[in-house]
Amino acid sequence: MKIIAITAAALFFFLGCARGGTQNRQNETSELTGDNRVLVAYFSRTGNTEGLAKTIHELAGGDLFEITPVEPYPSDYDECLARALAELSGDSRPPLAARVENMDTYNVIFIGYPIWCGDAPMVIRSFLEEYDLAGKTVVPFCTSGSSGLSGSVAAIKRLCPESTIPDGLAVSASSLGSARDAVSTWLKGLGL
């Protein structure tokens, strides 16, 4: 599998602490791409993945949905890290605060997340297991310090065995401001 990564010399905080928690938003709609019904779903604690999701949404169209856990992650770095590690080691599925009511209408789902502990946060597993994604295209994208998509794509493939999982995109948090061209090239390469 080809993975596109944008790296930067600056080290990004492992979990980041710029923004505590997340706010749930209703779906925001823009133009749809061709025959595809597109959903850009993302989890973002610090705002980095949210910025990347909004760029993808702007370029790919479709609907935008923020994945939020019932219990927001702590704003304190050490507390957030402890929770993330406990969820990962316990194979937890944090409950979600909102769900996509019309998931059956989408055939392309972009799924975005930060890389925590070398993987997607467990709230992403909660989201993917919430729906029947068989026959859909599930496209991963992430923000990370330098690890790229890490082990997250393998986990998504296990959770979505009957979905098509094309090449993912990893963007370092420090490169987000200049990622628009790379996102555009990546999207064109997906052929959606």
Structural domains in the chain, sorted by start: 4-190 (3.40.50.360)
Give the pLDDT score at 8.
29
pLDDT digits (tens, 9 = 90+) for 79-134: 999 999 999 999 999 999 999 999 999 999 999 999 998 899 999 999 999 999 99
Task: Decide if 47 contacts 15 (C-beta within 8 A).
Answer: no
Q: 40-53: b or e for each residue (b if 16 or more CB lie within 10 Å)?
A: bbbbbbbebbbbbb
pTM above 0.85, yes or no: no
Give the pLDDT score at 34.
59
Q: What percent of the chain has pLDDT over 70?
A: 82
pLDDT at 29 over 50: no
Q: Compute the distance between CA of residue 27 and CA of residue 100 in angstroms, rounded to an integer.
A: 8
